[in-house]
Chains A and B, each alone.
Chain A
Amino acid sequence: MQYFVFTTKNIFNKGDKVAIICYDFDADGNIKEEIVEEFILNDYEYYEDENLLVINSPHNYNEEEFVKKYKKKELLIKKIEEDKN
């Protein structure tokens, strides 16, 4: 999978553990999070001039299923553990 992120600052480093999170809202209007996938960030490129971060994840999902499940929902990429080295 490949994730395109529009960001003016790259907060990630190689070796960080990251999660792709899908968030939605429950009946009370609170944010409800679901982890789509977790992986160690090894393959990414940040293009500073373009404010573009392209992250390659080791997993690959079926496009149809992915779209069906996460359509109309927002995705976030979150750093859950920094690289200790």
Chain B
Amino acid sequence: MEEQPIRERKEREPEGVVRITEEIREKIKYLSKFFKSRFLVYLMSSQAVFFTGKMGEVHARSLDRFLNNGPKIVEVIDKSNEGENVQLAGWKDVIGVRRGVDGRIKSIDLLGGIITLESANNSDPEERLLELAILAKKLTLEHNDINKIRNFFNRENATFTINRNNVRNLRGGYSWYQNNFNVIRDYTSHLITDFLGEAFNMRNVGDISSMDYRTRERGYARSNPEINQQTVPPKGTIEFPDYIVDNVSINLIPGYESGGSGTTLSIPRERFGTQGQRYEALRYVQAVITLDIYNSRTNERISIIAYGIPVPYSYNSSGSYSIFTRYFGIAISNHQNNYSQFAGPLAIANAIDNLKSIFCFSGKKELGYYEHFDPNSVPVTMVSFNKDNRPDSQT
């Protein structure tokens, strides 16, 4: 019997591999110049961790080992061996937003890399946080095409809807986040509604699922001869929204910093989940919010991404940040005393703040009022059933 030729298998690309394009390399080089001296490991994925601070050889090796033995999602593009402080001075990565063939964001595999952070030399934690805040905003503005966003919302008196059923978290791994996810989801949806409404004067036409239901209901009514057709609104009565906000994902990735000579990078992933088990405390959390917006008229789509770092209340001026932090009962004094406890909400609030800056930056006007609303009314962003959230009781 003649031997069948073995069909050559097409080698599949490993899941989650991030392609480093020339454009990204250039971006990395540019950013690397901005940050000097010590390192900040700025790394995110489903399994990777976020680690910051001075990184010596031990840390660098651990990171390297982690990356090589862990999820194969990182491509090392520059690995220098010129001494401990520059061992991993090159960037590891950068953008890991995976998209499907239709361009939709499917998951976030990896973001960031190793950034040398000037203020890591400085022992002042506030200064470090400020630099982190700048970094989060900078990344947010760089990873979004502001011109494209501005041109995308070019309709006058446009309408939109948020598909709230699709607001979700990709990965949690942090109990506060899981327990409060419904609130976070509602809050994020409300804020996106506010930003779009105010920056582009768009009108929210309600929930898409109820719109679908009404459309179907009327369809049945039209085809039912027993129903008086005069009572059924004609086709197209309900205006289908011009824009649909979909696939909103809110991700919170916890990171821990070791108190001793070891590094969290070398401990098993599952140990990260519980605060203060073996290592000092939750040190940094990073939040990433992504969303897609479709133009239903032209079938075009844009994706928006915003980063957040747990920075102090006072670094963020917008109401969105204030609402969130006050809602969860976070005050500056509390924050300073117990950073670990509030890092999660602060990171999400910061991401929301940066999300706002995208819309404001690309908007036609400053955030003000919805023109289509009654000037005697304003939308409520959040509701609290707990009077302890009163601002006076915070400080």
Binding between chains A and B: yes
Q: Which residues of B contact A77 (CB under 8 A)?
A: 377-378, 380
Contact status A7-B319, CB under 8 Å? yes
With A11-B375, A72-B207, A75-B380 given, is the CB distance from A29 to B322 under 8 Å? no
Contact status A4-B383, CB under 8 Å? yes
Contact status B380-A5, CB under 8 Å? yes
The interface of chain A, by Cβ under 8 A from chain B, is 1-9, 11, 20-21, 24-25, 27-29, 45, 47, 49-54, 56, 60-61, 63, 66, 71-80
Q: Which residues of A contact B320 (CB under 8 A)?
A: 6
B168 in the interface (beta carbon within 8 A)? no
**Of B80-88, B287-295, B385-393, which binds chain A?**
B385-393
**Of B20-28, B36-44, B366-374, which binds chain A?**
B366-374
Contact status A51-B319, CB under 8 Å? yes
B193 in the interface (beta carbon within 8 A)? yes
Partner of A25, one of B193, B205, B391: B205
Contact status A6-B205, CB under 8 Å? no
Q: Which residues of A contact B382 (CB under 8 A)?
A: 3-4
Q: Which residues of B contact A5 (CB under 8 A)?
A: 378-381
A35 to chain B, nearest CB (A): 12
Cα A57 to Cα B324 with chains together (Å) = 19
**Of B231-239, B251-259, B269-277, B301-309, which binds chain A?**
B231-239
Q: Which residues of B contact A54 (CB under 8 A)?
A: 326, 390-391
The interface of chain B, by Cβ under 8 A from chain A, is 164, 186, 190-191, 193-194, 204-207, 210-211, 214, 217-218, 233, 237-239, 317-323, 326-327, 366-369, 373-387, 389-392
Interface contact tally, CB-CB below 8 A = 125
Residues of B contacting A: mostly? mixed
The list of the 4 closest CB pairs from A to B, nearest first, reads A51-B319, A78-B377, A50-B322, A6-B319
Q: Which residues of A contact B318 (CB under 8 A)?
A: 6, 50-51
Q: Which residues of B contact A80 (CB under 8 A)?
A: 376
Contact status A76-B379, CB under 8 Å? yes
Residues of A contacting B: mostly? strand
Q: Told that A6-B191, A45-B391, A78-B376 touch, could you supply 20 new A-B pairs with CB distance under 8 A?
A: A2-B385, A2-B387, A3-B382, A4-B383, A5-B378, A6-B320, A9-B368, A25-B210, A25-B238, A28-B238, A47-B322, A47-B391, A51-B322, A52-B326, A54-B391, A56-B387, A72-B164, A72-B207, A75-B383, A79-B377
Contact status A4-B375, CB under 8 Å? no
Partner of B383, one of A1, A51, A78: A1
Partner of A79, one of B190, B214, B327, B376: B376
Pairs across A and B, CB under 8 Å, 12 listed: A6-B194, A6-B318, A8-B366, A8-B369, A9-B369, A25-B238, A29-B205, A50-B318, A51-B319, A54-B326, A73-B207, A78-B376
